[in-house]
Amino acid sequence: MDNIVFNNGKLKFLDQTLLPNEERYIEPKCKEDYFNAIKTLQVRGAPAIGIFAAYAMALIDGDKAELKEYLDSARPTAVNLSWATARMLKAYNDGKELIDEAVEIHNEDIEMCRKISEYGLSLLNDGDGILTHCNAGALATSKYGTGLGPLLLGKEKGYNFKVYTDETRPLLQGARLTSYELEKAGIDVTLICDNMASIVMKQGKINAVLVGADRIAANGDTANKIGTSGVAILAKHYGIPFYVLAPYSTVDFNCKSGDDIVIEERDGDEIKNMFYQKPTALPETKCFNPAFDVTDNELITAIITDKGIVRAPYDKNLKEILND
């Protein structure tokens, strides 16, 4: 499933706000179309918005420094966005062919996701139960994904995982996107509400938690989709490994700790007035619907990058593996 397609000099993207009910591709025409697609989450997921913005930098005429600033302001937390636009601006200043650079960023992401998936898969066993939060699959990247990468690659290699996906309030990326993506890949997926993570862990259904990241600080503090830290706390309590999977472009050594990460605030209307008038998952997606759960404590077992598996102490080991 391709979320961003560049063909014959034209770019189109899969509108993720319409999923899982409609698969529609849109061709952005002007800088506002690119900005709005990122802002409204038609294109979302940290690596995917970086790739998309790289194409915008190549395809939209005008002052490239201003364009970078404009695109970056669409979403502040995912560092891959400003990382990609900075790389494109440098390519422009160096007199490079911009579309080639954008295609390179896109292809590199496919390669990075593949490596992350291989490292991640090496930590899992056939038949494992996996919990994931939000959507860190092919839709959020280029191919395979980060958090979902080991599952999609594992499926190709004949592994059978049993995946539980948190619905991920308020925008339901777990329900609308992860369950959709895994169903399409033929992976066994069960949708749960966010407040059911504890009970599936307590019932022994989960062997590992896999999530993506939006920005990783130098000390290993990680910004992920809202609700992820609660899942980490639960995993720690139940002694379940909690893995964060992300490419090197998600690590921001300018942020010493998570306190330096700007957290995006979105319109409260998303909580009050979105979804629930339409189905939020495919008809064949199973639902597990307990009414209560048990809550407890936190930590990250390892950060899985395209360069390898990083464990604590993260300040030393992230630098070492990423050669910063």
Catalytic residues: 214
- Edge-to-edge, what's the strand order for the sheet holding 10-14? 4-7, 10-14, 25-26
- Interface with ligand MRU includes 116 (CB under 6 A)? no
> Which helix (H) or strand (E) covers residue 113, if one does?
helix 98-121
Collapse the DSSP code of 286 into the 3-class scheme (helix H, G, I; strand E, B; otherwise coil) and give the result: strand
Separation CA 142–CA 232 (nearest Å): 26
The owner of tokens 């939020």 is 280
Collapse the DSSP code of 242 into the 3-class scheme (helix H, G, I; strand E, B; otherwise coil) and give the result: strand
Per DSSP, 251 falls in state E
Q: Is the peptide bond before 150 cis (omega within 30 degrees of 0)?
A: no
| Closest distance to ligand MRU from the beta carbon of 140 (Å) | 4
If binding means CB under 6 A, how many residues of this protein chain bind ligand MRU? 18
| Closest distance to ligand MRU from the beta carbon of 33 (Å) | 18
- Interface with ligand MRU includes 45 (CB under 6 A)? yes
- Interface with ligand MRU includes 146 (CB under 6 A)? yes
- Interface with ligand MRU includes 19 (CB under 6 A)? no
> In this complex, which beta carbon is closest to ligand MRU, that of residue 142 or of residue 285?
142
> In this complex, which beta carbon is closest to ligand MRU, that of residue 46 or of residue 121?
46
- Interface with ligand MRU includes 44 (CB under 6 A)? yes
Candidate ranges 133-141, 156-164, 192-200, 278-286; the one touching ligand MRU (CB under 6 A): 133-141
Distances from the Cα of 56 to the Cα of 142, 159, 302, angstroms: 16, 38, 34
Collapse the DSSP code of 124 into the 3-class scheme (helix H, G, I; strand E, B; otherwise coil) and give the result: coil
Distances from the Cα of 257 to the Cα of 218, 222, 298, 303, angstroms: 6, 8, 17, 15
Collapse the DSSP code of 266 into the 3-class scheme (helix H, G, I; strand E, B; otherwise coil) and give the result: coil
Out of 130, 192, 213, 300, name the contact with ligand MRU by CB under 6 A. 213
Considering only residues 65-94, where is the footprint of ligand MRU by CB under 6 A?
78
> Which helix (H) or strand (E) covers residue 39, if one does?
helix 31-39
Considering only residues 215-254, where is the footprint of ligand MRU by CB under 6 A?
224-225
- Interface with ligand MRU includes 47 (CB under 6 A)? yes
- Interface with ligand MRU includes 208 (CB under 6 A)? no
> In this complex, which beta carbon is closest to ligand MRU, that of residue 224 or of residue 285?
224
- Interface with ligand MRU includes 176 (CB under 6 A)? no
Record the tokens describing residue 316, joined without a space: 């030393």
- Interface with ligand MRU includes 41 (CB under 6 A)? yes
Out of 4, 11, 19, 46, name the contact with ligand MRU by CB under 6 A. 46
User: At 212, which amino acid appears?
Assistant: G
> In this complex, which beta carbon is closest to ligand MRU, that of residue 200 or of residue 210?
210
Distances from the Cα of 226 to the Cα of 28, 39, 199, 212, angstroms: 29, 17, 19, 12
- Interface with ligand MRU includes 178 (CB under 6 A)? no
Separation CA 114–CA 175 (nearest Å): 24
- Interface with ligand MRU includes 214 (CB under 6 A)? yes
Residues lying near ligand MRU in the complex (CB under 6 A): 41, 44-47, 78, 134, 136, 140-141, 145-146, 173, 212-214, 224-225
